[in-house]
């Protein structure tokens, strides 16, 4: 499986935008880029995913580099409830198990 690299932790102020980076230089042409997040003592929650084009949904935006070797998850206005571990994962489709790395622990301060 192609691997991803994320910073261990990031910090943001409440109501400010947050850009969470992810490097995936060995991504294959069939790999989707998925983002999940996990709040303390909860199961992971789907955030967003994409293949080549940038994606937006009610939770976040996903910006994918033209060469697909990196991507950025954008939270437009961080809230305290967005404090979680964010995982960037490559997967061909939902029929494959997800390879969770260490993710990025996001701290949001008031």
Q: Which residues bind other proteins (CB under 8 A)?
A: 32, 34, 36, 38, 41-46, 49, 87, 93-95, 97-103
Q: Pick the closer one to other proteins by CB: 42 or 53.
A: 42
Beta-bridge partners for 84 = 106
Q: Pick the closer one to other proteins by CB: 77 or 102.
A: 102
Are the beta carbons of 86 and 72 closer than 8 angstroms?
A: no
Question: Minimum distance between the CB of residue 9 and other proteins, rounded to whole angstroms?
Answer: 13
Question: Minimum distance between the CB of residue 13 and other proteins, rounded to whole angstroms?
Answer: 25
Question: Minimum distance between the CB of residue 100 and other proteins, rounded to whole angstroms?
Answer: 4
Q: Pick the closer one to other proteins by CB: 16 or 86.
A: 86
Q: Pick the closer one to other proteins by CB: 32 or 63.
A: 32
């Amino acid at each position: 499986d192609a691997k991803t690299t994320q910073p261990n932790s990031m910090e943001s102020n409440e109501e400010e935008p947050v850009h969470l980076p992810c490097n995936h230089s060995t991504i294959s042409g069939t790999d989707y880029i998925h983002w999940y997040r996990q709040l303390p003592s909860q199961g992971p929650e789907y955030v967003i995913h994409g293949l080549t084009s940038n994606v937006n949904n009610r939770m976040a935006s996903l910006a994918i580099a033209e060469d697909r070797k990196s991507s950025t998850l954008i939270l437009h206005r961080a809230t305290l409830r967005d404090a979680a571990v964010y995982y960037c994962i490559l997967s061909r489709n939902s029929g494959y198990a997800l390879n969770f790395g260490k993710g990025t622990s996001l701290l949001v301060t008031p």
